[in-house]
Chain A
Amino acid sequence: DGGITQSPKYLFRKEGQNVTLSCEQNLNHDAMYWYRQDPGQGLRLIYYSQIVNDFQKGDIAEGYSVSREKKESFPLTVTSAQKNPTAFYLCASSIPRDISSNQPQHFGDGTRLSIL
């Protein structure tokens, strides 16, 4: 079955540590996205990528970094500069490269990051 796989499901970060969240898709989608979900708030866009080797900052990119070396993969690194990293992180993909397209986004089942 085609879909988006996020791993791990739960992740714990120590002070001063960088952690990387994995996102893999086999839908052959060009565009991929990372969102952060906090209780009582809507999904907030961290980064998005419309094509391999290219990505753009979203609304809350500070303290995060990404790479897009392969079409299937879009890992997110939460750096020690992100002072409030505890959240539910969601990866998504969509067919077109254009973020303004009305095509639906397909989501993974998320990674819950907590601070030790």
Chain B
Amino acid sequence: SQKIEQNSEALNIQEGKTATLTCNYTNYSPAYLQWYRQDPGRGPVFLLLIRENEKEKRKERLKVTFDTTLKQSLFHITASQPADSATYLCAGGSARQLTFGSGTQLTVLP
């Protein structure tokens, strides 16, 4: 079955550094990938979308890449701030459905 895998271990980084989160997909080739932010007890909020024919997308301090050879997307937050602390979800879309990963919890330490 199609899977989206994210690093289940929490990621702690120092304020001001760049956070890099990884999303790998298996058993299918998503036409696009979406990244969401989820705060405790809240629903996910959409951040960025990247299509399979795009290498890189940027939005303010956020950057996402899509490597179809490695079957991987990287999500970067530059100049990270404590307010960036949250769980980040990757989702891969195909003709059939949107498949979500379990998310990576990011903590930015002041």
**Size bin of chain B's contact surface:** 20 to 34
Interchain CA distance A101-B49 in the complex, whole Å? 12
Is A100's beta carbon under 8 Å from chain B?
yes
Interchain CA distance A106-B101 in the complex, whole Å? 17
The interface residues of chain A, by DSSP majority, are classed as: loop
Is B4's beta carbon under 8 Å from chain A?
yes
Q: Specify the chain B residue showing the minimal Cβ separation from A33.
A: B98
A110 and B97 contacting across the interface, CB-CB below 8 Å: no
B102 and A102 contacting across the interface, CB-CB below 8 Å: no
B98 and A40 contacting across the interface, CB-CB below 8 Å: no
Is A2's beta carbon under 8 Å from chain B?
no
A40 and B96 contacting across the interface, CB-CB below 8 Å: no
Known A42-B4, A42-B89: A107·B99 in contact at CB below 8 Å: no
11 A-B pairs besides A4-B43, A100-B97, A109-B43 with CB distance below 8 A are A41-B102, A42-B103, A99-B96, A100-B94, A101-B93, A102-B32, A104-B34, A105-B98, A109-B41, A110-B42, A110-B43
The 9 closest A-B pairs by CB, nearest first: A107-B43, A104-B46, A42-B100, A43-B100, A102-B32, A100-B95, A42-B102, A109-B43, A42-B101
- A contacts, CB < 8 Å to B: 4, 6, 35, 40-45, 58-59, 90, 92, 99-102, 104-110, 112
